[in-house]
Amino acid sequence: MSVTQPVGNKAEITEAEFEGLKIKALQKVNDFTDYLKIITDLNSDREKIKTAIGLATALFVDENARIEVSNVNTGLKNKYKVKEYFVGLGTPFFDQVGYVFLATTEEGLVELEQRRAAQVELGVPVERVDPAELPGVRADDVLGAVVCRSDGVADPVAVTRELVRRAVEGGVDVREHTPAETVDAETVVIACGAYSPPLAAHFGVELPVRPLTRQLLETTPIPALLERLPMVVESETGFHFRRRGDRLVLAMADADPRWGDLAEVDEAVFPDRLARLEHRYPPAAGARVARAWTGPYDMTPDAHPLIGHVEDGVYAVCGFSGHGFMQAPAVGDAVAAELLGEEPPLDLDPYRPQRFASGAIFPETLVL
């Protein structure tokens, strides 16, 4: 993670330019059959994919998209346990309340069950749960549900501050409010989230990353909120909510993606989100939106990150496409190892920034 504060620059790439980049990447594969073969190889080589996931970052396959899920188990052949890392930080940084996914349609249930099977095969403790067991959660329209009890929610700002504190304590020279462009370094690591393309451009590199505006809504206080309320996700709609103190934080993807890094909250969706909340969680009836804010996802063409050298002395670690916080411990560890010339504890090859040029597009399909 970068430890500096915002410097106000924005990614300038337009949607047309972004599409152009993708097309350019695909055009480099001369033969469409080659392209299909790459995709087929990726799909058929499940073991390779699993190793790629390595730690569970859910970086690579949709079945494993429940990001936090995959690290806590010992079934994977990885050496790094992301969730253990968060658990090790303890309260108030990480709260292991669990994630619940609900399916309300037959198709949704089939998909949920396929994901669960893949996760269990990977050793992730995802179980079926009777939705009626979830106090307060409306279950009469739910056909099936799964829970991973070792999942949880974190306070990203507090965790970042704590990591900075530990880094300084460990002797790291942390310079805040310092644009990376002004720092002399043998190797520059571009880890600026949605602001990575402008920094890359400074080094003459074009990165296929573009900002997508997402927003979070926090409700007014809700009486008697269950202390251990899990994060609840409607599988088909992606609508989800989780407890923060005596309130709930709600989110859902926009029907029309808001490309760009837009500061304005779209208040037009508030009534819809509150209605969804009241439907799924009747104890929240009457709650209002107390505050809301936006932030940019740093999207890549396949919604997986870019990790690796993009130029001599320039290394990219960005494009986490909305799930980078939970991947950070594993990725940070692997990147540090690679930069030090050691063997990374997970295979970073599937995430190389050059992958689009060889047609390796394997899109993440479940980005919340």
Ligand X SMILES: Cc1cc2nc3c(=O)[nH]c(=O)nc-3n(C[C@H](O)[C@H](O)[C@H](O)COP(=O)(O)OP(=O)(O)OC[C@H]3O[C@@H](n4cnc5c(N)ncnc54)[C@H](O)[C@@H]3O)c2cc1C
Residue numbers at the binding site for ligand X (CB under 6 A): 1-2, 4-7, 67, 179-181, 191-193, 195, 199, 214, 216, 295-297, 318, 320, 322-326
CB of 30 to ligand X, least distance (A): 34
CB 200, CB 180: distance < 8 Å: no
Residue 119 burial (C-beta neighbours within 10 Å; 0-12, 13-18, 19+): buried
Nearer CB in complex with ligand X: 193/359: 193
Shortest spacing between CB 13 and ligand X, in angstroms: 15
Query: What is residue 361's three-state secondary structure?
Result: coil
**In terms of CB distance, is 158 or 285 closer to ligand X?**
158
**DSSP string across 289-324:** EEEEEEEEEEE-TTSS-EEEEEETTEEEEE--TT-H
- Please say which residue, 5 or 30, places its beta carbon nearer to ligand X: 5
- Residue among 153 and 277 whose Cβ is closer to ligand X: 153
* 296 in Cβ contact with 320 (< 8 Å): no
- Cβ nearer to ligand X, comparing 242 with 280: 242
Cα separation, 318 vs 320, in Å, equals 6
Shortest Å, Cβ 27 to ligand X: 29
Q: 66 or 355: whose CB is closer to ligand X? A: 66
The crossing angle, in degrees rounded to 10, of helices 46-53 and 32-44 is: 70
d(Cα 362, Cα 189) in Å, to the nearest integer? 25
Q: How far is the CB of 286 from ligand X (least distance, A)?
A: 25
Matching residue, tokens 């349609």: 105
Taking the alpha carbons of 337, 342, 345, 349 in that order, is the dihedral positive or negative? positive
Least gap, CB of 203 to ligand X (angstroms)? 11
Of 144 and 304, nearer to ligand X (C-beta) is: 304
CB of 310 to ligand X, least distance (A): 15
Task: Name which of 204, 92, 228, 227 is nearest 151 in CA terms.
Answer: 228
> Cβ of residue 140: shortest distance to ligand X, in angstroms?
28
Long-range contacts of 110-113 (CB under 8 A, 24+ apart): 111/235, 112/144, 112/145, 112/146, 112/235, 113/144
